[in-house]
Structure 1
Amino acid sequence: MGILDVIFGNSTNQLLEYLNKGAAILDVRTDAEYYSNHIDNAIHIPLQELEYRVDEVKKLKKPVVVYCASGMRSANASRFLVANGIDAINGGGIAKVRSVL
């Protein structure tokens, strides 16, 4: 994984691998962003709430693909989830994740 993957999301192959193994999709954008456009069945937890709602993600008991608008917030969120024992990757921006669905 290169520095650009860390910042803007993992490779398409890794996204597909996670989605094929039943990963949950987590949207960490703001409420306004989510309600204007989101991926169907995505779980919505804004980044600023994730610290307080991490148990919701743990209860899923599955890997997680995190996305935002560009990949920056999802990079922070995926690092936080991994640090809390959750198998998570940065999916990048919504367009990238949507392109592999």
Structure 2
Amino acid sequence: MRLFSKGPEKSIQEYISEAEKRKGSIFLDVRTPEEYKEGHIEGSINLPLHELKKIGSVIPDQEAPVYVYCLSGARSRRSAALMGHMGYLDVTDMGGLLGQKVKLVR
């Protein structure tokens, strides 16, 4: 398992499959609420990057496996790094949805 890597090593679909096998996994979408409404990974939590300081009230368990994504990968990378500095121990940067074949819900 990668902790705070420099970028995604797998496709988003591969990360989704991995997360579904791990008890307590959380998908965190760090895009804007407007982007989230256009389509997101089922069951994901939306917390925009600019509101990441509220992560403790959204995901209080700092040991939970958290899979972070955005549109291009820039915000997810930054969010994963920030969460590491905040004490989160198991954060995976899934990268961005752009160009990925993944089922989204609205």
Q: TM-score, normalised by structure 1?
A: 0.75
Note the alpha carbon deviations across 1:15-50, whole angstroms, 9 max, x for none: 344442132000000111000111110000001001
After superposition, the Cα gap between the structure-2 partners of 1:97 and 1:82, relative to the gap in structure 1 and judged at 3 Å, is farther
Tell whether the 8 Å contact from 2:62 to 2:87 is kept in structure 1 after alignment: no
In 2, distance between residues paired with 1:79 and 1:97? 25
Matches within 5 A, 1:70-81: 70-81=72-83
After superposition, the Cα gap between the structure-2 partners of 1:50 and 1:98, relative to the gap in structure 1 and judged at 3 Å, is same
**Structure 2 alignment gaps of length 5 or more:** none
Moved over 4 A (4+): none
Counterpart position of 1:34: 36
**Structure 1 alignment gaps of length 5 or more:** none
* The 10-residue stretch of structure 1 (73-82 or 58-67) with the greater mean CA deviation from structure 2: 58-67
Identity %, equivalent residues = 30
Aligned CA-pair RMSD: 2.6
Counterpart position of 1:89: 92
Q: TM-score, normalised by structure 2?
A: 0.72
After superposition, the Cα gap between the structure-2 partners of 1:97 and 1:59, relative to the gap in structure 1 and judged at 3 Å, is farther
